[in-house]
Structure 1
Amino acid sequence: MAIPTLNLTGHHRMFIRQIHYLLALAKTGHFGRAAQTCHVSQPALSTALQHLEEELGVTIIKRGQRFQGFTEEGERVLQWARILAQNWEGMRQAAAQYSQQLTGVLRIGAIPTTLPVTPLLTQPCQAGYPGIAIKLLSLSAEELIRQLDNFELDLGLTYLDDPRLKGFKTLPLYLERYVLLARNPAPCLLKSALHWRDIASLPLCLLTQNMQNRRLIDAAFREANVIPNVMLETDSIFALYAHVRSAGLYCVVPHSMLNQFALHEDITALPLTPELSREVGLIVRRQDLPSPIQDAAWNIARQLDLQHRFDSLMAAGHLTLRQSAAVR
């Protein structure tokens, strides 16, 4: 069925611009920066927002010499503005989808430890829909949830056991398992059942304590009744690998990270016992009519077999372990 071309009057186009101006002001908290974001002059933005207030018959913005926030009525209008902007973008994408030219920006938020996994989703999305651009942000779980709630993201990639996810639609993708990453591990580590207490005294590099991954690892060491010897902390998963590769340190990482790390002959991934695991997946805000771009990415993600891929990488690390033991 053919979809008619959207033919907006000047009034309608102005209303849509007003909505985007309002959202830009909420995001930047500054009239000048909001105007820059929207590529208009500050007077033009201010005038458009005053006209919006006149049309709605309420004061939205607290004004002084500078932006002072939103009125109580303004906060409620802002929530509706976010919904309107989301629905407008969804309608625009739906019109493009009918002409088989789905375009737009897919906004994904991912907690840091899942970033090495994201190319496995973004690549097939762009291969299937060349008109899609992707904006990928590394966010804490809290900020990821906040931005989804405010319609600033389309999808989130995070741990699914977070109680704050009630009300979100979730798609499990894989169960991450934790391994010790080592370069030329000592003979005492080359055994089939490597316990957390066996690695506590090693010179470790771990993620910083504000990250969920680190809190999970700290809990495993507490359960083993040992204190880990943490020599270096970083907020970068790639810095972890670099220090294993070049500084003689050891690190504990999810086995999904092996997807991005080059396991050279001298680098080994050693499974730990008792196994530490956590479910990772996509989340999206529940809504009656998801945007076509959200729907397309969600359906592609459902076809990924990430569990088999990552478990195979861990098995390859095990093979390295057996080879090393045989040589020694």
Structure 2
Amino acid sequence: MLDQLEMFIALAKLQHFGKAAEELGITQPTLSTRIKNLEEQLGVKLVFRGSKFGGLTPEGQSALVWARRITADARQLREEMRFSRNGLTGQLRVAVIPTALTWAAQLSAKFSESNPNVRLTLLSRTSIEILSMIENLEVDAGITYLDNEPTGRLSTEPLYREKYMLICSESSAFACRDSVGWDELGSERLALLTPENQNRRIINGHFRDAGVTPDAWIESDSAVVLVANVEQGDWLTILPADIARFLSQGKALRLVPLSGNIRHPTVGLVAPYREPHTPTLQALLKQAARLSEGFD
């Protein structure tokens, strides 16, 4: 039944038999048959069927909660047994907001030093995608915003608070400034992250507080693209200090702090709330706590 529950979770996530079958590496008829078998075993209809996937029935919605719980418990059992035999091994999958990738690298490097037999997969995703991936058991943990996010029943470990920098060319009028106000940037040619990124929504909030509307001539889901455009053309971008320093290093660019009534949202590690956590995930949370000691 465990395989069937995992198939059911994939179908509920993608809401399409063909796409779910492709992700699972099986044929669509096989998936349909396994879901029907699961329905027969449970004695209820889980999926509305027509010419295409019609959504989950009320019983299906309830079963999805149990399917996620049972699948997570089974995975934890396997890891606990593997840990008792071999110590910390296996793989951790972590989804990370784009602006926290440098912090993810710090965390993964420190974690790997202490746990060399654990493989790590780091994925760049938006904050909304990270919560969905954790819920659907696609990743084991995430690095995302902890403020004003629907984190639900998650274990959290704060890592740092975002401080924002304007990135400009050495020839920019802002290059020699000690700081720049948000209200001074309303009419400038800006390159910013796309609106689905929480970082962009935070930046838009700062502009609203300053009484201006940002003029984003270029939008991208990649901070690398934003900095490359600043380097190549007459653009400005705004990024958190840590990734701004990393991406600007060795380039003819200047970093200028943003001034005014600035909020500094907290970014941290999040993981499904379980007692106890798997040994590997518990080790990752402890490493995050050590990395963030005295965070500001």
Aligned residue for 2:60?
74
Equivalent of 1:110, from 85, 96, 100?
96
Asked if residue 298 in structure 1 is aligned to residue 285 in structure 2, the reply is yes
2:286 partner amino acid: N
Conserved in 2, the CA contact under 8 Å of 1:178 and 1:275? no
Instruction: Kindly state the Cα deviation for residue 94 of structure 1 after the two structures are TM-superposed.
Output: 1.1
Instruction: Kindly state the Cα deviation for residue 31 of structure 1 after the two structures are TM-superposed.
Output: 3.8
Aligned residue for 2:80?
94
Aligned residue for 1:289?
276
SS at match of 2:13: helix
Aligned residue for 2:42?
56
Structure-1 separation of matches of 2:174 and 2:24: 61
Aligned residue for 1:173?
159
Equivalent of 2:12, from 26, 34, 45?
26
Structure-2 separation of matches of 1:181 and 1:117: 19
Alignment of 1:76-225 (within 5 A): 76-186=62-172, 189-225=175-211
Conserved in 2, the CA contact under 8 Å of 1:185 and 1:268? no
Given the two structures, how large is their TM-score scaled by the length of structure 1? 0.77
CA separation of 1:41 and 1:131: change in aligned 2, threshold 3 A: farther
CA separation of 1:224 and 1:307: change in aligned 2, threshold 3 A: farther
Conserved in 2, the CA contact under 8 Å of 1:108 and 1:134? yes
Q: Which runs of 5+ in 2 are unaligned?
A: none
2:288 partner amino acid: A
Structure-2 separation of matches of 1:207 and 1:113: 10
Instruction: Kindly state the Cα deviation for residue 196 of structure 1 after the two structures are TM-superposed.
Output: 2.9
The structure whose Rg is larger is 1
Aligned residue for 2:253?
267
Structure-2 separation of matches of 1:268 and 1:193: 11
* Deviations 1:94-139, CA, capped at 9 Å, x for gaps: 1111223434442322223223432222333344434434343333
CA separation of 1:81 and 1:268: change in aligned 2, threshold 3 A: same
Structure-2 separation of matches of 1:201 and 1:29: 43
Equivalent of 2:244, from 258, 265, 286?
258
Instruction: Kindly state the Cα deviation for residue 289 of structure 1 after the two structures are TM-superposed.
Output: 2.6
Structure-1 separation of matches of 2:57 and 2:28: 21
Q: Which runs of 5+ in 1 are unaligned?
A: 1-14, 312-328
Structure-2 separation of matches of 1:162 and 1:55: 41
Conserved in 2, the CA contact under 8 Å of 1:177 and 1:275? no
Instruction: Kindly state the Cα deviation for residue 86 of structure 1 after the two structures are TM-superposed.
Output: 0.8
Instruction: Kindly state the Cα deviation for residue 184 of structure 1 after the two structures are TM-superposed.
Output: 0.9
Conserved in 1, the CA contact under 8 Å of 2:179 and 2:256? no
Instruction: Kindly state the Cα deviation for residue 54 of structure 1 after the two structures are TM-superposed.
Output: 2.9
The alignment's C-alpha RMSD in Å is 2.9
Conserved in 1, the CA contact under 8 Å of 2:169 and 2:175? no
Aligned residue for 1:323?
none
SS at match of 2:162: strand
Given the two structures, how large is their TM-score scaled by the length of structure 2? 0.84
* Deviations 1:176-229, CA, capped at 9 Å, x for gaps: 111111221446652434333444444332223443222322333333334545
1:72 partner amino acid: P
1:263 partner amino acid: Q
Instruction: Kindly state the Cα deviation for residue 302 of structure 1 after the two structures are TM-superposed.
Output: 1.4
Aligned residue for 1:5?
none
CA separation of 1:278 and 1:102: change in aligned 2, threshold 3 A: same
Aligned residue for 1:317?
none
How many corresponding residue pairs? 295
Instruction: Kindly state the Cα deviation for residue 275 of structure 1 after the two structures are TM-superposed.
Output: 6.0
